[in-house]
Structure 1
């Protein structure tokens, strides 16, 4: 199936209506995984024509995705990644962990963005950035699509490395998502050191249910994150 290529429409709108000059596209990967971190990429692209074939990373074959990510890392004006670990996800919940990873990515950019385009309909980032949420932004916005591909390839590589000592879970193939192989290994061997232990999948595993943790932070604990990172709002 052919898809319309992403455009700079949202970036142009933000430039015209807000005066923003540096605009970062932000996307995440790993939200629905049972193991490993959640990873966020922030990418600044300007208004140049993107490489051919750029779209949402989920629509690109793994064979094409890796070389495209390498091309994008050289093509973008700048990019940075941020991660929130499985332990941080367990401690604070996914919403706050997403924000933590996004803040880490944005703060790692060489130039602070004037505005951020965030994939999806929910603003999990908030101030101090000016945020524009775009549903399916990873398919329609150049900067978000670039962030999507880079984040996916980098996290997949991380998960393959984490899975070296846990071959039965096949993290190199499933990246910590609940594939049949992953679920079978989990039922037999229990969670690895990289599994999220506050998640509901443990409820269906009586032999491992005792390992389930209770979240120590509320999912909305954004002030805690701000305090950790030293922001002055």
Structure 2
């Protein structure tokens, strides 16, 4: 289906209205998964012409998405990824976990952002960052689309690696998202250490629902909470 390619119009607007020179695009992947981290990519592209075919990662075939991610990692001016683990998602809730992962990504950049373009309508990042939210920014903004593709491909690769130790869950195919195979493995084997235990899917698993965690409000702001995923990404 034809689509309009993303542009630099929001970046140009931020430069004109705020004086921002370093504009970072942010997108996340893994928000709706049952297992695995939520992953955020922060990317800087400048105003150069992007690789052909750049768009929202969800509109690309897996093969093209992987090829494009490789191109983008060499094309972007800078990029960094941040993750929040399943345990952090359980402890903090998704909004705070997204903020934590995004902060880690932004702090991992070799440049200091003047402004951030965040995909969606909700600003889960907040101060001290200067944020512009853009609905469907992963389709309309070059810098967000680039972040979208890189985040998706990198998280899918991480989930495939986790799947080597949990083959019944087929993480390489479902990336931790709901699927019939994933549900069947949960019913038979119960959650792995990589599953989110505060999520509603456990309510439908009588053998395992006793494992469900009740989330309490964190005692400290999300940006101050540490935590690792257990291996180096």
TM-score, L = length of structure 2: 0.95
1:5-29 C-alpha deviation (Å, 9 max, x unpaired): 0000000000000000000000000
Question: SS state of the match for residue 80, structure 1?
Answer: strand
1:217 Cα offset (Å): 2.7
2:103, 2:223 within 8 Å by CA — same for their partners in 1? Answer: no
Answering whether residue 159 of structure 2 is matched by residue 162 of structure 1, we say: no
3-state SS, counterpart of residue 117 of structure 1:
strand
Partner of 2:96: 96
CA deviation after TM superposition for structure 1 residue 216, in Å:
3.3
Describe the superposition over 1:56-97 as per-residue Cα deviations: whole angstroms up to 9, x where unpaired. Answer: 000000010101001000000000000000010001000000
Q: Which residue matches 1:26?
A: 26
SS of the equivalent of 2:127 reads: coil
Q: Distance in 1 between matches of 2:2 and 2:208?
A: 44
Gaps of 5+ in 1: none
SS at match of 1:128: coil
Cα separation, 2, equivalents of 1:216 and 1:160: 31
Instruction: Provide the C-alpha distance between the structure 2 equivalents of 1:227 and 1:209, rounded to a whole number of angstroms.
Output: 31
Q: Which runs of 5+ in 2 are unaligned?
A: 227-233
Q: How many residues align?
A: 226
Q: Structure 1: which 4+ aligned runs deviate by more than 6 Å?
A: none
* Separation of aligned partners in 1, 2:161 and 2:56: 24
Tell me how far 1:215 sits from its aligned partner.
1.2
Note the aligned Cα RMSD (angstroms).
1.1
User: Which residue number in structure 2 is paired with residue 41 of structure 1?
Assistant: 41
